[in-house]
Amino acid sequence: MKIDRRCFLSLGIGAAAGITLSPLPWKITDDLSIWTQNWPWTPVPPDGKTINKKSACQLCPGGCGIAVRRIDKRVVKIEGLKGHPVNDGGLCTLGLSAAQLLYSPFRIQAPVKKVNGKWRKISWDDALATITTKMTELREEGKAHTVAGIIGGERGTVSMLWQRLFKAYGSPNLMRNTSMEDAYSLVLQKTQGNRVLPGFDFENADFVLSFGSGLIDGWGSPVRMFRALGDMKNRQAKFVQVEPRLSNTAAKADQWLPIIPGTEALLALGLIHVILSESLYQVRFVEQHCEGFDNFKKMVLETYPPEQVAKATGIKVETIKELGREFARAKNPLAVCGRGQGLTPGSFQETAAVHVLNALTGNLGEKGGVLAMPAGPEYEEWPEVEPDDVAAEALQQKRLDGAGGDEFPDAGDLPTRLAQVINTGKGDGIQLLFISGANPVYTLPDTKAVQKALAAIPFKVSFATHMDESAEMADLILPNHCFLERYEDVPVAAGLTSPIVNLAVPVVKPMYNTKHVGDSIIAIAQALGDEIADAFSWENYKTCLKETLGDEKWEKLTEEGYWVDEEFKPVPWKEGFKSAATKFIFPDPARLNHPPVSASGDAKQFPLTLIACDSMRLAGGAVGSPPFLIKITPDSVLLKEDLVVEINPATAADLGLKEGAQAVLATPKGSGRVRVHLDHGIRPGLVAMARGLGHGAHDKYLAGKGLNTNAFIGPVDDPDSGYDAAWGISASLAKA
Amino acid sequence: MKQEQEKPKKFGMVIDLDKCTGCGACMVACMAENNVPFKENETNKLDSITWMRVYKLTNNKPFPMTEVCYLPRPCQHCEGLHTGHSPCVSVCPATATDYDMETGIVSQIYTRCFGCRYCMGACPYHARYFNWWDPVWPEGMEKMLSPNVSPRMRGVVEKCSFCFHRYQAAKDKAFYKETRAIAEDDYQTACTQACPAGAITFGDLDNKDHAVYKKKQDPNAFRLLERLGTNTKVYYLSRKEWVRKAGDNYLPGEGLQKPRRIHE
């Protein structure tokens, strides 16, 4: 048969019609759609019994209660604990992502020792024995004081155990991380007579003046601050933010005063000038409850007239005068300081000036004012440690960081000075360093110097939960349980107005071969024997914790998760102060009458100023951001692997930089490639850089992204206290 | 026993932008609640799946008159001018997305979706996201997946569901307790609960006893792109006029228009 054109076409059309009418195309489409969605590797989460557990968050000092939702043995969600006095159901981004830290592949799963640069698993007995042998050797050589420690916090039983171990063993070199609380505490001691912590009664204030504090960027207890500021909006209380950059806090303020960075102390003194010269202060307070007022007044009136302050701060004379009047005339005014999240203590001058501003309006101990808070609720006392002769002698040695020494007699801890001391070869070198609840390699300023200093220490022991930068540099790691797996008391200060302690409980059994750091300390002490062992008579950390809290608190804590000291009452100024004269002592004028701490660096080579900025979307401290936080980081902060710095369009025009352009950022401490983002909400001449990026360790979601602010900004010792008072550094930005 | 038809509900949100701090807690709470995956690089925000996304608005004025406002954007659950006439529902060829008359929630059925992405084109709010890749959780982290929400596969569209599984759980609870009616507290979305500033309120927009009923009538309330007639169920509050104006496309010189109130 001959196939002609007509036949070919009819056959073709016939076949097409036939296939279309048959079930074949439909079957294929159906199968295809099923097949395309049939991916066996898409997980199907197993169902199970829902269990809710109460615990406490330990990722920042904020002290939130958490409600952990479990499906059988799996933690699926962490939420804020309803009814908790701090956060009442709310929770921050980091707390909400905490399950990602529990299940992180970067958990340290067993004790490990570094052998030829590689990690090798060892047994717990071997790990503890390595430490005790080393410690015993050093003690026998009379070098007990060369054992040092860097720990996360001052309060709570774990920190108390560390202090006890160092005292019994005989080393003065236990350092804890410092924050604005340290600067405040010192000012309270100097003015009011006791080294307490500040409480800020935002809930009752009707005028809040913040000197750069990121009140909703993670300052104090973050969730409490969110709630307090939301409530202030309802009450129509006024809120003024003094900050060089339009941070989230400044954006939410009723008034934003873009000050020249580093001159906040001058503005506070200028406001004091207005209040003094116009006699707007609380007369009874000044006349009956103060000492040194006249000298102080004389100094301020002579040195800080608004006209001069305006020149230095970049804020108009009229604005300063109005602000001073408005502040003094408000019923319950409140001024606070501590830049950003308050991670850097700040200068004595600044904190003292802000505190005096509060004092003059008569708000100390009053509703809506600054309260003197105890460092946590009272615990059952431990028997006093009696250091043996070796320890007693070693404790006479001076601290390596200079705290409490001739130069800085007022400081408690100065970890930011450690790198400098070690690198310049002063003092006896540290032979053994403990790192617990801290990540100094990431969080201490001037990363390069810190790395160099740590490299010079022959033996470093880390108690980290995750493989962070400091753990990577260690020689031995004794991994702690993740905070969701362990018991721990969490006394909260963070500017709250009543003493609160939370209890963290294990919401899941420890997943790996880890050990509670409290148990590790007790084991080390007991192995050291004699008087040291006697000071640690507890069977384990849990019994220690239970005994320390006492039955009544323990019961309440295990049931509700928190305990509030209902009996605490702030002492109003009318009832006097704790100083020897029971009066408020105005700070020595000489300590306030000097130019503020300046940014270091040559102005010609580095014409710009770099400042670090904190945000709730990135964890800037010892804990690295989990993947959820990196996901919500805006592309104006992180673009692919590049850190994005913020500059004013005017600055960008001067430098010839366009939005998204690549540039090289350099400071006296370091340099790196960045991209630029133009934003009107920043003072011209400044470069803002987000804190919390540039991790070298952790998982692939975090490591290698952006740059670490601490690698660019070095510490500046406050001449008065020794605390780190750096607020920025001079910098240059050039087209790449 | 007298059988009564339950009154249909209209779940919606009122978000106070004056209180929103842009912290992002709502975004994280949403991701943790709904098994939203994450990739190694999430800086391309066009393919970064965020059912709830917080936008940064600015008044575009030079320093120092600059102002900033944050705007959280969940799915707006459009009702359209006729009930159920949402932009996405109207175009879906697979009936993978539907308007629920009982709750007013726009659903998304992943197994029905075949990934044509018409709905993404139709949605004026960029509330819908496409799974360009399979979700991958790092080893061990699948442990934190919730069994209440199914993880999605490559090739489907997903979006905010107003935590519909929580509504189902609340209904089950009400049935078990024989109360029938769901209390306001029993059904709240994850973002509402997580917001530390208390900026988000969630409830039945038609129920006089719910907080949202009163709040949506605030003179400063507005909705996004209201003039499109999408008739959304997410209201925003702001005292600042430039923020209210940013909610819609205004011509230069055009004054702020009083919103049409379709829900009353």
SS3 A163: helix
Contacts with A442 (C-beta within 8 Å, 6 or more apart), sequence order? A468, A469, A470, A622, A624, A695, A696, A708, A710
**ipTM for this model:** 0.94
Check whether residue A583 and residue A653 sit in a common domain: no
Find residues 28-57 of chain B whose CB sits inside 8 Å of chain A.
28-29, 31-33, 35, 38, 40-45, 48, 50, 54, 56
Q: Say if the Cβ atoms of B153 and A39 lie within 8 Å.
A: yes
Partner-chain contact A246 B197, CB within 8 Å: no
- The answer, yes or no, to whether residue A112 has pLDDT greater than 90, is yes
Phi then psi for A211, rounded to 5 degrees?
A: -90, 75
**Between B221 and A376, the higher pLDDT residue:** B221
B2 has pLDDT over 70: no
**Closest approach of B167 to chain A, Cα-based (Å):** 17
CATH classification of the domain holding A97:
2.20.25.90
Is A699's pLDDT higher than 90?
no
Asked whether residue A193 is assigned to any structural domain, the reply reads: no
Tell me what pLDDT residue B263 has: 47
What tokens does A3 get? 């196939």
Question: Nearest CA to CA, how far is A78 from chain B (Å)?
Answer: 8
Distance in angstroms (rounded) separating the CA atoms of residues A373 and A571: 10
Would strands A459-462 and A74-80 be described as parallel, antiparallel, or unpaired?
Answer: unpaired
Q: Nearest 5°: CA angle at A13, between A7 and A16?
A: 140
How close does chain A come to B58, measured CA to CA in Å? 9
CA torsion, points B151, B154, B156, B161, in degrees to nearest 10? Answer: 20
Q: Which is it for the CA torsion A494, A495, A496, A498, positive or negative?
A: positive
Highest mean pLDDT, choosing among A260-269, A367-376, A570-579? A260-269
> Do the Cβ atoms of A90 and B196 come within 8 Å?
yes
Option in A76, A80, A628 nearest B146 (CB): A76
CB < 8 Å from A in window 231-260 of B: none
Residues of B within 8 A of A246 (CB-CB) are: 66-68
The single residue listed with the structure tokens 């939702």 is A69
At B264 the pLDDT is: 43
Residue A196 lies in a domain: no
For residues B144 and B136, the answer to whether their CB atoms sit within 8 Å is no
Place of tokens 């990135």: A618
Question: What is the pLDDT of chain A when averaged over all its residues?
Answer: 93
Chain A residues with CB under 8 Å of B69 CB are: 251
Q: CB A77 to CB B33 under 8 A?
A: yes
A254 shares a domain with A154: no
When pLDDT is averaged across residues B222-240 and rounded to a whole number, the result is 93
Whole-number Å distance between alpha carbons of B182 and B185: 8
pLDDT, residue A16, reads: 93
Residue (of B145, B171, B204, B252) closest to A70 by Cα position: B145
pLDDT at B3 over 70: no
What's the rounded Cα separation, in Å, for the pair B201 and B17? 12
Give contacts of B 144-203 with A, CB under 8 A.
Answer: 144-147, 150-156, 193-199
φ/ψ bin of A561: left (φ > 0), alpha (ψ from -120 to 50), beta (otherwise)? left
Give the one of A41, A251, A700 whose C-beta lies nearest to B67's C-beta.
A251
Residue of A nearest to B116 (CA): A33
Q: Residue B5: pLDDT above 70?
A: no
Choice among A39-48, A83-92, A543-552 with the minimum mean pLDDT? A39-48
- Average pLDDT rounded to a whole number, residues A668-692: 95
Q: Which residues of A616-641 are buried (b: 16+ CB within 10 A; e: fewer)?
A: bbbbbbbbbbbbbbbbbbbbbbbbee
Chain B environment of A78 (Cβ under 8 Å): 32
First to last CA, chain A: 76
Q: What is the CA radius of gyration of chain A?
A: 29
The CA distance from A134 to A2, in Å, is 100
Partner-chain contact B19 A683, CB within 8 Å = no
Which of A614, A616, A603, A690 is closest to A646 using CA atoms?
A690
Nearest CA in chain B to A64: B196
Q: Name the residue with tokens 């308007």.
A: B99
pLDDT in tens, A588-623: 999 898 888 888 778 889 999 999 999 999 999 899
Note down the domain range covering A681.
608-735
Residue A50 CB neighbours (<10 A):
14
pLDDT (tens digit per residue) in A212-265: 999 999 999 999 999 999 899 889 999 999 999 999 999 999 999 999 999 999
CA distance A410 to chain B (A): 37
Distance between CA atoms of residues A303 and A194, nearest Å: 29
Whether residues A221 and A353 share a domain: the answer is yes
pLDDT given at position A21: 92
- Do A539 and A455 fall into the same domain? yes
Residues A356 and A496 in one domain: no
CB contact at 8 A, B134 and B174: no
pLDDT for B83 equals 78
DSSP string, chain B: ----PPPP--EEEEEETTT-----HHHHHHHHHTT----S----TTS---SSEEEEEE--PPTTS--EEEEEE------TTTTT--HHHHH-TT--EEE-TTT-PEEE-TTT-----HHHHH-TT---EE--S---PPTTGGGG--TTSPPP-TT-EE---SSHHHHHHHHHHHHHTT--SPPGGGS--HHHHH-TT--EEEEETT-TTSHHHHHTTSTTEE-TTGGGT---SEEEE-S-HHHHHHTS-PPTTPPPPPPP----
In the numeric block, the tokens 């969600």 are attached to A77
Confidence of residue A18 (pLDDT cuts 50, 70, 90): very high
CB contact under 8 A, B21 and A248: yes
Percent of chain A with pLDDT over 90: 82
Beta strands in A633-703 (DSSP E): 638-639, 642-647, 662-667, 670-678, 686-690
Out of 1.10.3720.10, 3.10.180.10, 3.30.70.20, 3.30.43.10, the CATH code matching B11-246 is 3.30.70.20
On the question of a cis peptide bond just before residue B64, with omega within 30 degrees of 0, the verdict is yes
- Residue A682: phi and psi, rounded to 5, are -150, 145
pLDDT grade for B259, boundaries at 50, 70 and 90: low
Tell me the average pLDDT across A100-114: 95
**Does A584 share its domain with A627?**
no
How many A/B residue pairs have CB atoms within 8 Å? 196
Which residue type is seen at B81? Answer: L
Exposure string of A222-253, with b = 16+ CB inside 10 Å and e = fewer, is bbbbbbbbbbbbeeebbbbbbbbbbbbbbbbb
Structural domain count of chain A: 5
CB B164 within 8 A of CB B30: no
Q: What is the mean pLDDT of chain B?
A: 91
**A216, B61: Cβ pair inside 8 Å?**
no
pLDDT tens-digit map of B67-125: 999 999 999 999 998 878 899 999 999 899 999 999 999 999 998 898 999 999 999 99
- Specify whether the CB–CB gap between A295 and A586 falls below 8 A: yes
Please indicate, yes or no, whether residues A515 and A614 belong to a single structural domain of this protein: no
Q: Both tokens of residue A31?
A: 């199968």
Can you tell me the distance from the alpha carbon of A469 to that of A477, in angstroms, rounded to the nearest whole number? 12
Phi, psi of A108 (to 5 degrees): -90, 120
pLDDT for position B4:
62
Distance between CA atoms of residues A495 and A373, nearest Å: 8
Q: Do B69 and A251 touch (CB under 8 A)?
A: yes
Residue A511 maps to a domain: yes
CA nearest to A622, candidates A717, A712, A695, A525: A695
Residue closest to A267 by CA, chosen among A209, A183, A330? A209
Residue B264 Cα, gap to closest chain A Cα (Å) = 26
A339 and A450 share a domain? no
In B, which residues are within 8 Å of A649 by CB distance?
Answer: 62
SS3 A542: helix
CB contact under 8 A, A632 and B194: no
CATH number reported for the structural domain that contains residue A261 in this entry: 3.40.228.10
Q: Which of B22, B142, B195 sits opposite A90 (nearest CB)?
A: B195
* Alpha-carbon separation of residue A526 from A130, A173, A514, B6, B88 (angstroms): 14, 21, 19, 69, 68
| Rounded alpha-carbon distances, angstroms, from residue A564 to A498, A560, B256 | 7, 11, 50
CB atoms under 10 Å from CB of A49, counted, come to: 8
Residue A427 pLDDT: 67
Asked if A577 and A583 touch (Cβ cutoff 8 Å), the reply is yes
Interface touch A222/B62, C-beta < 8 Å: no
Instruction: Read off the pLDDT of residues A305-324 as tens digits, 9 standing for 90 and up.
Output: 999 999 999 999 999 999 99
Strand partners, A667: A670
Residues of A in contact with B31 (CB under 8 A): 628, 631
Burial of A536 (0-12, 13-18, 19+ CB in 10 A): buried
Report the distance separating Cα A242 and Cα A253, nearest Å: 10
Alpha-carbon gap, residue A292 to A584, rounded angstroms: 9
Q: What are the pLDDT digits (tens) for A43-82? A: 899 999 999 999 999 999 899 999 999 999 999 999 999 9
User: Do residues A213 and A251 both lie within one domain?
Assistant: yes
Q: A497-523, pLDDT tens digit by residue? A: 999 999 999 999 999 999 999 999 999
Nearest CA distance, A92 vs chain B (angstrom):
5
Q: Same domain for A213 and A352?
A: yes
- How close, in Å, is residue B99 to chain A by CA atoms? 23
A657 and A527 co-located in one domain: no
- Which residue among A90, A256, A639 places its CB closest to the CB of B43? A639
What the block records as the tokens of A124 is 């717990």
Q: Are residues A553 and A425 in the same domain?
A: yes
Query: Residue A446: its pLDDT value, please?
Result: 93
